[in-house]
A and B are shown apart, each in its own frame.
Chain A
Amino acid sequence: MSKQAKVSIKGLYKIFGATPEAMLSAVYDGIGKDDLLEQHGHVLGLQDINVDMAPGETTVIMGLSGSGKSTLIRHLNRLIEPTAGEVLIDGENVLDYDEAQLRRLRQEKMSMVFQKFALLPHRTVLQNAAMARIVRGEEEADAEKAAAKWLDRVGLAGFEDHYPHQLSGGMQQRVGIARALASDSDIMLMDEAFSALDPLIRTDMQDLLLELQEELHKTIVFITHDLDEALKLADHLVILKDGYVVQQGEPQHILLNPNDPYIEDFVSDINRARVLRVRSVMKPINGTTSFEGVVDADDNLEKLIEISGGDTTHAYKVQRDGEDVGVLKMKDLVRALVPAVPSSDENTLR
């Protein structure tokens, strides 16, 4: 990454308990989560988190329930104070902020979408969407004009005067998204924003987010425990376990090179052909001359299997924006479809 990170987390630790600072040295010495709880009665929430989030990208933080995802995302706007470490936003350490600066950060630079929507039940959809702007002191009429625009954008035109409880879960979360977008903040924090929704509506919402992101290029921090969702949305994937980062990087890379049994378990039961893309499996063109056809670097492997009719002897030229970038041999493709180490109990972690 050559650009300056929009959000940069450095050496972040969070210990829950009566005297977290006193526990730091033990944690620096590498005491585990279980031992810390057993011997000192403190919960190790996060340990040595280092993540850079590039501007305009979606960083997905994935992990099982209790792995510290919510704790981590709440450090970005300091809803939770860290025990040690730094959180830099546009190069400024937000931990140095005083109350007024912190409020400005929350009002102008960051917005948040919540798993349980967290809308104001006594306010209309329009008033909810306008909340961020009203909080920072804009005229109600102006704020509501902007809010109405975003409600329209997320497909809620005509529902302005409804109350949240009159809407379905999916629609309520659209209000949540409109509320976040209406604040015009660069950074959007989404804590399991779609986890409470039915699968079909969830897919709709993911598509909506991708579509919005296409034109808005916000820096999105998205939390999920669902690998399919993570792979669909992530530019950068961070996998969290017991409060530490197991692996982070380009999602396709993690999928092909999991460095931990925890991740192998995660990735073992997904449809790899649908998730993996040609660009992740292709090889450089080293003299290969006979191609069965031309494919796009961003095609998924499922599509290639269909094109090839299952013939493993085929090779295809890979192009991106009309330029040759590599070659895809069907043999490599088949190999990529098998997880690195097949897991024996693949369902335990879901």
Chain B
Amino acid sequence: MATYDGMFEALGLSDWCEKDSSGGPMTMAQLLAQSNGGAEEKTPFWETPFPSLDELNQSCDAIARTRDMTSWVENLFLSVKDGLKLVLDPITQPLSWALDGSLWLFETLPWFVVIPALLLIVWFATRSLALVGGVAVSFLFLAFIDHYTPAIQTLSIIFVCTGFSVALGVPIGILMSRSDTLQRISLPVLDMLQTLPTFVYLIPLIFLFSVTESKLYGVAIILYAIVPVIRLTDLGIRLVDKDVIEAADAFGMTSRQKLFGVQIPLALPNIMAGVNQTIMMSLAMVVIASLVSAPGLGVLVLRGIRNLELGVGLVSGFGIVLLAILLDRVTKASLNRINAAQPR
């Protein structure tokens, strides 16, 4: 006897319940109850269970159990998966190529080429000798403690994912800024991408892409990190002075001229602020993505957690902090240069 037997009888549904009673496997609770000799105690009122699927199933076999429901979801997902894969595989393939190619390049080039190249990039982006010096010291230190390869792997993944995020996010942001409807639809999606614990969307991704492909972690990182570029591109373009836009219209600019000659340049400080955040979020995600085979410093952190190798975890964690500071400083410094070049 289960709690809700009476309810189904009262509703006259007993027959329907019996009809296709499945002799399926029992739940653990049922098993326990049975082994207890099926003692038919009346449940005290205070302990009345919530009428959940499992609970109702005990009184009425026609009602599915929760584990049946989860397996439906799984089957549903698996059945659409092939279709999804057919579409997603080709369009995400370039991501795999880019990630693998970039990793190959960074790992193949010798350290005495890569480090000076990075320093040159920092110099051109920031024109700050202090920052160049900081980056040099940091990388030489990481190399000295044999963390050069994972650090450069992490950096390589961040570069590629940021590149993809900007290449996709800026156009999406532009479209959003032009259509209030699109903005209304997209904002909740962006909110969700940003607030969902990252583990949650790793799960469907694992089923969609094989763990051996780099696009798995690439997609995970991009989904998470693309949000700020989109948001700030949209915001930046919407914040462009209405009077200037009106002047552009009054002088007969085409929407192309307006976009590239007025809106994007004036929104650039905001867009670059979005890129800075995207880089930082890529870094955060590339560590978590080591769970799904992303190489880099995250793997070492993971090893530290799994094997309780405290030292490995702490040192690689420190390496990540170092990278974070460098990336933030360098992007902020180049952002400031853009702002200074474009006074208001």
Contact = CB atoms under 8 A, between A and B. Distances in A.
Contacts of A132: 251
Interface residues of B, number: 19
16 contacts: A102-B252, A103-B254, A106-B251, A110-B250, A111-B251, A112-B247, A112-B250, A112-B251, A118-B247, A119-B244, A120-B244, A121-B343, A131-B251, A132-B251, A163-B343, A189-B250
Contact of B266 (A108, A121, A136, A189): A121
A107 B241 CA distance: 21
A56 to B, nearest CB: 22
Interface in B246-263: 246-247, 249-254, 257, 261-262
Contact of B250 (A79, A136, A165): A79
Given A120-B244, A183-B251, 15 more contacts: A79-B250, A103-B252, A107-B252, A110-B250, A117-B243, A118-B243, A119-B244, A120-B262, A121-B343, A131-B251, A132-B251, A135-B251, A135-B252, A135-B257, A136-B252
A116 B343 CA distance: 17
B257 A106 contact: no
B342 A121 contact: yes
Contacts, number: 59
Given A103-B252, A103-B254, A135-B252, A114 B266 contact: no
A104 B252 contact: yes
A335 interface: no
B19 interface: no
B344 interface: yes
A105 B241 CA distance: 24
Contacts of A108: 252
Q: Could you say which interface size class chain A belongs to?
A: 20 to 34
Contact of B243 (A77, A111, A114): A114
A121 B241 CA distance: 10
Given A114-B243, A116-B243, A135-B257, A121 B344 contact: yes
B268 to A, nearest CB: 8
Most buried by A among B251, B253, B254: B251
Given A122-B266, A165-B344, A105 B252 contact: yes
Nearest to A121: B344
Given A122-B342, A163-B343, A165-B344, A106 B250 contact: yes
Contacts of B261: 120
B28 to A, nearest CB: 61
A9 to B, nearest CB: 18
B304 interface: no
A79 B249 contact: yes
A118 B241 contact: yes
A163 B254 CA distance: 24
Nearest to B241: A118
B265 interface: yes
Contacts of A116: 243
Interface in B227-243: 241, 243
Interface string A4-46: 0000000000000000000000000000000000000000000
